[in-house]
Amino acid sequence: MSPSDPHILVIDLGTTACKTGLVTPNGKVVAYVSEADATPVHFGPGGKAEQDPADWWAVITRNVRRVLAQSDIAPSRIAGIGVSAHWSGTVAVDEQGEPLGNAIIWMDSRGAPYVAEVTGGFPKVEGYGVRKLITWLRLTAGMPTRSGKDSIAHILYLQRQEPERYRAAHKFLEVKDYINLKLTGRFATDPATITLHWATDNRDLDNVYYHPQLLDWLGVDGDKLPEILPTNAVLGPLLPEAAEAFGVPAGIPVTMGAPDVHAPVLGSGAVDDFHPHVYVGTSSWFSCHVPFKKTDIFHNLASLPSSAPGRYFVVNEQETAGASLTFLRDAFFFGQDALGDCPAPEDAYQRFDQLAAQAQPGSGGLIFTPWLYGERTPVEESTLRAGFYNLSLTTTRADLVRAVMEGVAYNTRWLQGYVEKLAGRGELGPVNFVGGGANSEIWSQIFADVLKRPIQQVKDPQAAGLRGVAVLAGIALNLTTLEDYARHVEIARTYQPNPEVAPIYDELFATYLEIYKRNSPIYKKLNKPH
């Protein structure tokens, strides 16, 4: 590969970290930088979770300049720009594209009561009016979730609780689409990104549009939603002011990009139908592409538009996966408080790996439930909470760390069964593994043992989002095809399930499910809104 070859400048804005990279159209990561804890989340009462868009732009511009300075790629060789960002967020902007206050992000649940209002009716199934349920499922394969964390719930919250901001808004944009607006000046989205507004008919992926009946039920002004363009669209040239901020030439084509769920789907390399992958970052999921639109309303699963043109994939999410290890790090192991000034070392997660490897499979019977911020799938309960079960005086710190890793894997196994049932093809595997969690050899083996499937650790797993966006940009710019990209995906190592530990994990997984069944009513009582 020559530095003169075309490269895609990719921006991958996570909830708390930002990656920026230079990636070939076939997914080879040439250079990338990452900055953590640059975009704080502002929590508040009632399920509030917001971020300041100015923080996003500051870390993006800083990281673009860093990656260009650290690579030998001349800015003139950048063939295109693609963006990924955390999904299910809402930025209210005026006609000039300026944000009207903080963005509401995917963790915010303040819109839940208003979702219940617009989706209700008689008779009801799972809390939804039957007529509305049937129509929504037919048109979209889903409907606004009861958690209140979908983008449409944010808009409903603003409409009811901040009517002045709602009226002043020219458009409500997803996070990725807001960044694209900063780059091109264009108010636009795509069929995949707009899904969680639950206002589009996506039965024909070549003709996704806002449906009048859904907009009427939602009570939202369709003019306040952005134009829908294809997933492989070129939005336009990079604006001079953005180019100056980045230190690159103006006019570079900016492609549509993809949300942070969709991008790693492609970046995992599992692009064929029914080829599963697991992503473990802050959150997590178990997913695959499928050649049909289908919904499991009882477990909050659906096949929705993929960022791969003309494709569907199974959408689900575990709210806190890697975030569980971060919580363990900051709340239990390292901290700056009255007990001492002990900030987390840079190699904290490597130390966790070493500790986890010292514990036996099953962590001495210790079980961790990773529901630190409620759960979406396979149960939708915002009141669920995490916990360690079966602690004893013989429990070690190694047990604690391994139990957290195993708990995330148990939840993925819980989800795996419903995804396989929806796919209708029996057991799915082997499983491609991506996300920051896939850097861990011990976690990769735990997933293989708990899921009972071979785990294929994709090379540079933490760059899956960068890779997926670069491939989409390459397709949009006619620099590659999905089939050509698939031939370039590299597997670093395959982890085989160990049959000797299967009985241990079978028993503990059954107990994990029993913990949910017995404690769900308690959590609903403890965490009901006041």
- Of the chain, the percentage scoring pLDDT greater than 70 comes to 99
| DSSP-H helix ranges across 74-162 | 112-119, 130-140, 151-161
Please tell me whether residue 346 adopts helix, strand or coil conformation: coil
CB atoms within 10 A of CB 468: 32
Max CA separation in the chain (angstroms): 64
CB atoms within 10 A of CB 226: 23
Task: Take residue 528 and report the two structure tokens written for it.
Answer: 């009901």
d(CA 458, CA 477): 25
Confidence of residue 373 (pLDDT cuts 50, 70, 90): confident
Count of positions (residues) in the chain: 530
Smallest CA-to-CA distance from 177 within 169, 185, 187 is with: 187
83 φ, ψ (degrees, to nearest 5): -125, 140
User: Which H or E run includes 277?
Assistant: strand 277-280
Residue 55 has pLDDT above 80, yes or no: yes
Task: Take residue 280 and report the two structure tokens written for it.
Answer: 């473990």
Residues in Cβ contact with 201 at an 8 Å cutoff, skipping those fewer than 6 apart: 139, 140, 208, 209, 211, 214
Residue located via tokens 């904290």:
348
d(CA 393, CA 402): 17
Task: Identify the pLDDT of residue 282.
Answer: 86
Residue 436 has pLDDT above 50, yes or no: yes
d(CA 455, CA 448): 5
Give tens-digit pLDDT for 136-163.
999 999 899 888 999 999 999 999 999 9
Residue 94 has pLDDT above 90, yes or no: yes
Residue 65 has pLDDT above 90, yes or no: yes
Find out whether 390 and 366 touch, Cβ atoms under 8 Å.
Answer: yes
Question: Which strands sit side by side in the sheet containing 455-458, from one edge to the other?
Answer: 284-287, 277-280, 431-434, 455-458, 491-495
Task: Take residue 199 and report the two structure tokens written for it.
Answer: 């206002």
DSSP strands (E only) in 281-346: 284-287, 289-290, 295-296, 301-305, 312-315, 335-337, 340-342
Find out whether 323 and 283 touch, Cβ atoms under 8 Å.
Answer: yes
Residues in Cβ contact with 204 at an 8 Å cutoff, skipping those fewer than 6 apart: none
CATH topology of domain 322-452+509-524: Nucleotidyltransferase; domain 5 (3.30.420)
Give tens-digit pLDDT for 159-185.
999 999 999 999 999 999 999 999 999
Amino acid in the structure at residue 234: V
- Of the chain, the percentage scoring pLDDT greater than 90 comes to 88
CB atoms within 10 A of CB 478: 9
DSSP strands (E only) in 7-153: 7-13, 17-23, 29-36, 42-44, 48-51, 78-85, 91-93, 103-104, 124-125, 128-129
99 φ, ψ (degrees, to nearest 5): -70, 140
| DSSP-H helix ranges across 452-487 | 464-476, 482-486
Q: Which residues pair with 173 in a beta bridge?
A: 91
d(CA 93, CA 172): 6
353 φ, ψ (degrees, to nearest 5): -60, -45
Task: Identify the pLDDT of residue 82.
Answer: 98
For domain 7-271+463-486, give the CATH number: 3.30.420.40
Task: Identify the pLDDT of residue 4.
Answer: 57
Find out whether 157 and 231 touch, Cβ atoms under 8 Å.
Answer: no
**Helix pair 441-451, 502-526: axis angle to 10 deg:** 90
Residue-range domain boundaries for the chain: 7-271+463-486, 322-452+509-524
Angle at 298 between CA 292 and CA 301, to 5 degrees: 40
Q: Which residue has the higher pLDDT, 142 or 91?
A: 91
Over residues 81-101, mean pLDDT: 97
User: Which H or E run includes 497?
Assistant: none
Same CATH topology for 7-271+463-486 and 322-452+509-524: the answer is yes
d(CA 151, CA 174): 8
Residue 516 has pLDDT above 90, yes or no: yes
d(CA 119, CA 124): 10
Find out whether 197 and 178 touch, Cβ atoms under 8 Å.
Answer: no
Confidence of residue 225 (pLDDT cuts 50, 70, 90): very high
Task: Take residue 408 and report the two structure tokens written for it.
Answer: 């995330």
Residue 3 has pLDDT above 50, yes or no: no
Give tens-digit pLDDT for 452-491.
999 999 999 999 999 999 999 999 999 999 999 989 999 9
Task: Identify the pLDDT of residue 426.
Answer: 93
Task: Identify the pLDDT of residue 346.
Answer: 87
User: Which H or E run includes 410?
Assistant: helix 397-423
Residue located via tokens 């896939």:
438
Please tell me whether residue 13 adopts helix, strand or coil conformation: strand
How do the residues of the chain divide into helix, strand and coil, expressed in percent and rounded to 5? 40, 25, 35
Please tell me whether residue 218 adopts helix, strand or coil conformation: helix
